[in-house]
Amino acid sequence: MATTEPNLVDSIRARPGLTLVVAFGVLLLVDLVAKLAGISVGPLGGSLSTGRLGSNLWNGIVIGLVIGLAGIGLSMTYSILSFANFSHGDLVSTGAFTGWGIAFLIAAFGEQPIRALLSVRGAGNVSPGEIGAHVLSTPVAVLVGLVAAFVITAVVSLALDRTFYKPMRDRDGISLLIASIGVALVVRYVIQFVYGSSRRGVTATVDASNLVIPATGLSINAHQLTILVAAIGLMLAMHFMLQHTKLGTAMRAMADNKDLALVTGIPAERVVTATWILGGGLAGASGYLYVLLRGTIQFDFGWLLLLLMFAAVILGGIGSVYGAIAGGLVIGVVFTTSTIWIPSDFNEAAVFAVMIAVLLVRPEGIFGGVSTA
């Protein structure tokens, strides 16, 4: 941005869009304060309990972490392989189905037919409650399921690369993008074929699984807490890998400058393989966690989530891993807090409005221009 001290009128004149966005943001903030204080002035204000605001923010952070976690892989494929991977959302679904299949298998082994358990559906009349998958009642099953989601999706992701993307390695970004839409369709309908198209419940309900923080009235669900810990743990592991290992440094180097990486002797294929394994694994884990949050699963939820992931990644600065996380959090929080003002049917619209607003101010995204740093 400009280094000289701009005067206010000039800067308003120079960027009317920005001024409008800022003014609207201030208006919302004033309205929010008025609502919390219980003051009502004309169309402004109303009433809002701090508890509701708190739980909106908390839910937003949890959803944001899941979206951010999924977005890491999307951002990495963009910076290292130079294309927008539309099959990423279906990797999220892959992780959810395979992971929960394993979790069910462990949770109800011997009680239900293996085939029904692995395909994440009740055989006959069995409900998710009878399988009883919950982090409090079957913690081992839920955790092993998470690991399985990561590992299996990483393998699937690598297999997709070897089958579809590797033969196209030298092609341009648009060709790869279109190919990835095809891959997305293949994966999605294989999932539909194997697991069926019905939307179904997955997690069981367990009494007293909510932790209420007394002073605020904020209620924290055990599954939300699991997501918080798992997502932050995976993000920290990713951070450590990128900053403190040779492979991670090479990944950042390749994201920075592929041609230079080549003449430096960095083995591109090995870095690409690592990118698919890690990006795919994180996508799978986030899909698994998303189901833990929502409690339900359906074959195309990853595809539907992809739009939000792209929003997060673009908002954060496409190509940046940290941007994906930051963008995910912004998207998540906007997604839930927007219901203070608008019906929840429109919260995706709010997400994209905020994305556009942020890009008006910072066209390169929050972490833009620093690639994987």
Partner 1 sequence: MSTDESGNDPEVAGGSESPSDPEVAGGSESPSDPEVAEGSDAAGDVEAGRNHTTMGDAVLRIRGLNAGYGDLRILTDVDLDVTDGEYVTIVGPNGAGKSTVMKTVFGLTTHMDGTIEFDGEPIHGLAPERIIREGVGFVPQTDNVFPGLSVRENLEMGAYILDSVPEDRIEEIYDRFPILRERESQKAGTLSGGQRQMVAMGRALMLDPDLLLLDEPSAGLAPDLVTDMFDRIDRINDAGTAILMVEQNAKEALRRCDRGYVLVNGENRYTDRGEVLLGDEDVRQDFLGG
* Residue 273 binds partner 1 (CB under 8 A): no
Position 68, amino acid: G
Applying CB under 8 A, the site for partner 1 has a residue count of 21
Closest separation in Å from C-beta 316 to partner 1: 15
Task: For the beta carbon of residue 124, count every other beta carbon within 10 angstroms.
Answer: 8
Residue in 257, 304, 307, 363 binding partner 1, rule: CB under 8 A = 257
Q: Residue 194 CA to chain centroid, in angstroms?
A: 24
DSSP state, residue 1: -
Within 13 A of 43's CA, how many CA atoms are on the CB side? Answer: 3
Q: How far apart are CA 350 and CA 342, in angstroms?
A: 9
Site for partner 1 in 342-371 (CB under 8 A): 370-371
* Residue 373 binds partner 1 (CB under 8 A): yes
Tokens, residue 302: 């990853």
Q: 310: part of which helix (H) or strand (E)? A: helix 301-316
Q: How far apart are CA 40 and CA 46, in angstroms?
A: 5
* Residue 246 binds partner 1 (CB under 8 A): yes
If the CB atoms of residues 231 and 254 are measured against partner 1, the closer one turns out to be 254
DSSP-assigned states of every residue in 113-171: -HHHHHTTS-STT--HHHHT--TTT-HHHHHHHHHHHHHHHHHHHHHHIIIIIGGGTTS
Task: For the beta carbon of residue 244, count every other beta carbon within 10 angstroms.
Answer: 9
Pattern 21-50, partner 1, x by CB under 8 A: ------------------------------
If the CB atoms of residues 227 and 271 are measured against partner 1, the closer one turns out to be 271
Tokens, residue 51: 């508890």
Residue 120 falls in which region: left (phi positive, over 0), alpha (psi -120 to 50) or beta: left
* Residue 324 binds partner 1 (CB under 8 A): no
Binding window for partner 1 (CB under 8 A); candidates: 15-23, 36-44, 65-73, 243-251: 243-251
* Residue 169 binds partner 1 (CB under 8 A): no
Tokens, residue 10: 């000039």
Residue in 70, 253, 325, 333 binding partner 1, rule: CB under 8 A = 253
Q: 13: part of which helix (H) or strand (E)? A: helix 8-14
* Residue 266 binds partner 1 (CB under 8 A): yes
* Residue 241 binds partner 1 (CB under 8 A): no
Binding window for partner 1 (CB under 8 A); candidates: 188-196, 255-263, 288-296, 307-315: 255-263
* Residue 256 binds partner 1 (CB under 8 A): yes
Q: Is the separation of the CB atoms in 178 and 165 below 8 Å?
A: no
Closest separation in Å from C-beta 72 to partner 1: 16
If the CB atoms of residues 230 and 325 are measured against partner 1, the closer one turns out to be 325
Closest separation in Å from C-beta 324 to partner 1: 15
Closest separation in Å from C-beta 107 to partner 1: 44
* Residue 260 binds partner 1 (CB under 8 A): yes
Closest separation in Å from C-beta 256 to partner 1: 4
DSSP-assigned states of every residue in 274-291: HHHHHHHHHHHHHHHHHH
Binding window for partner 1 (CB under 8 A); candidates: 15-23, 39-47, 149-157, 261-269: 261-269
Residues at the contact surface with partner 1, assessed by CB under 8 A:
246, 249-250, 252-253, 255-257, 259-267, 370-373
